Amino acid sequence: MDIINKLHNEIDERKDELIDLLKTLISFKTPAPPARNTNEAQQFMAEFLAKRAFKVDKWEVYQNDPNVVGTLKGIDSANYQSLIINGHIDVAEVSPDEKWETDPFTPIVKDSAIIGRGAADMKGGLAGALFAIQLLHEAGIQLPGDLTFQSVIGEEVGEAGTLECCKRGYTADFALVVDTSNLHIQGQGGVITGWITLKSEQTFHDATRRQMIHAGGKLMGASAIEKMTKIINGLQELERHWAVMKSYPGFLPGTTTINPAVIEGGRHAAFIADECRLWITVHFYPNETHEQVAKEVEDYIRNIAKGDLWMQENPPIFEWGGTSMIEDRGEIFPSFEVDPDHEAVQKLMKSHASVLNEKPVVDVSPSVTDGGWLGSSGIPTAIYGPGHLRHAHAVNEQLAINELVDYTKVMIQFIYDWTNSKKEEKHNEIQ
């Protein structure tokens, strides 16, 4: 490991270059929404990887929002482990009224931290991984296993550039998502959004309401908005049931939530509302799937509808997920679990302990990342990145420089160790 110790020293000596690399990434204005603005940043990523001997694949997922995947073939790919490093180039939106110390895309260093939109979420992770790759390349180190670097679009708005990488056939023996985790090794729960619609085939004038709600009116009709309140109450009942019956280590009880986020309904004041749509966000645990929880919601709400005379004739309609919060107002973030006994996780733990001289934390993220798409594709996956979630999406978003340096050291050691591991080797290296 003398070569790795030498490279660790080089990271300390060239810290300013690492900071400048992160500043460069932050300076690309890639907020989503509005999105459709990442091409310039992604071209930088493509050229950076190409200069380090990666074969680069760049393609548009949406107009002016391309994915970039760089592949560095190992010198003995058949026998050594392969690695995907994954991160998103888009950052959280910035509102005009936010009071930043500086322009969010003109990064500054203050109090030993880099301030700028995306510093924590998650251009810091991208910069650390890229700088590790650069130093390995400059040292002339040829990795036995394949190394794939994915810079993807759309994570902030559920557009899952990572899913498009999976569809394109990119795979590996292990994937590391370099998103915000405060240097914890993490799995995650999942999120799915859905629309519940109540719609009548008939429309009624506002003046007919008395006939629907009072004795002897003899008009079988109802306001879809009022009927939706029964569904909202039902969702709250199911949410409470989950809180009692479901749990997962590392999550506070009741983390499985059903949020009635948006409601739309009615035409105008001269009509009885013939349609109402409810947009919900469902959070679920790492050992659950989005298909499973969607079915649980549907089954429960359909049983409620069976007890309502109007909803028996006008049953709820369910639409789940989506590929974009911008394009079709829906998203899915699959969950995934981290196996602490997996050889790659063991090596990541060892790298962390070696650099920081502390036992690594293996837990679950309270947020979601694209890692679920990698896990759903059959790739063992973990989240491991610099930055605190309290800084992500925040005014004056920032990343501590010492954390970025430590992270880069861990990454250079882990990349080297994992791609130098033979496929048939099974180690147990928990510290």
325 domain residue, yes or no: no
One domain, residues 56 and 150:
yes
> Rg (Cα) of the chain, in Å, rounded?
25
Model pTM score? 0.93
One domain, residues 231 and 143:
no
Last residue of a domain, one of 320, 346, 380: 320
244 domain residue, yes or no: yes
Q: What pLDDT does residue 160 have?
A: 87
One domain, residues 196 and 261:
yes
Cα(87)–Cα(84) distance, integer angstroms: 10
Any idea of the CA torsion for 97, 99, 100, 101, to the nearest 10 degrees?
Answer: 140
> What letter does residue 143 receive in the DSSP assignment?
P
- Confirm if 416 and 143 have CB atoms less than 8 A apart: yes
Cα(58)–Cα(43) distance, integer angstroms: 8
Q: What is the mean pLDDT of each run of 10 residues along the chain (431 residues)?
A: 92 98 98 98 98 98 98 98 98 96 96 98 98 98 98 96 98 98 98 98 93 92 97 98 97 96 96 97 98 98 98 98 95 97 98 98 97 97 97 97 98 98 64 42
> What letter does residue 38 receive in the DSSP assignment?
-
Q: What pLDDT does residue 430 have?
A: 42
429 domain residue, yes or no: no
Identified catalytic residue from 57, 65, 90, 156: 90
One domain, residues 238 and 295:
yes
Q: What pLDDT does residue 428 have?
A: 44
Q: What pLDDT does residue 425 have?
A: 53
Active site residue 274: no
The CATH number given to whatever domain includes residue 135 is 3.40.630.10
One domain, residues 225 and 243:
yes
Residues with Cβ within 8 Å of 199's Cβ and at least 6 positions away in sequence, in order, are 224, 274, 275, 276, 314, 317
Cα(160)–Cα(174) distance, integer angstroms: 19
One domain, residues 172 and 197:
no
400 domain residue, yes or no: yes
Q: What pLDDT does residue 56 have?
A: 98
Report the candidate in 415, 419, 422 with the shortest Cα–Cα distance to residue 131: 415
What are the structure tokens assigned to 342, written together? Answer: 């997996």
The CATH number given to whatever domain includes residue 230 is 3.30.70.360
One domain, residues 176 and 46:
yes
Q: What pLDDT does residue 124 have?
A: 98
One domain, residues 164 and 52:
yes
Cα(330)–Cα(327) distance, integer angstroms: 8
Segments forming the whole domain that contains residue 256: 190-320
Cα(183)–Cα(105) distance, integer angstroms: 24
Cα(418)–Cα(420) distance, integer angstroms: 5
Cα(190)–Cα(188) distance, integer angstroms: 6
Q: How deeply is 140 buried, as exposed, middle or buried, from its count of CB atoms within 10 A (0-12, 13-18, 19+)?
A: exposed
Q: What pLDDT does residue 90 have?
A: 98
Q: How deeply is 401 buried, as exposed, middle or buried, from its count of CB atoms within 10 A (0-12, 13-18, 19+)?
A: buried
Helices and strands (H and E) in the chain: how many: 12, 16
154 domain residue, yes or no: yes
Any idea what the Cα angle at residue 276 is, between residues 271 and 281, rounded to 5°?
Answer: 160
Report the domain count for the chain. 2
Active site residue 90: yes
430 domain residue, yes or no: no
Identified catalytic residue from 57, 146, 155, 406: 155
49 domain residue, yes or no: yes
One domain, residues 386 and 413:
yes
One domain, residues 257 and 304:
yes
394-398: Cβ within 8 A, 24+ apart: 395/98, 395/99, 395/100, 396/100, 396/101, 396/115, 397/92, 397/104, 397/115, 397/116, 397/117, 397/118, 397/119, 397/120, 397/121, 398/113, 398/114, 398/115, 398/116, 398/119, 398/120
One domain, residues 292 and 373:
no
Backbone angles phi, psi at 36, to 5 degrees: 60, 45
Last residue of a domain, one of 264, 286, 320: 320
Location of structure tokens 């861990």: 410
Location of structure tokens 């110790």: 5
213 domain residue, yes or no: yes
Last residue of a domain, one of 294, 320, 346: 320
One domain, residues 292 and 376:
no
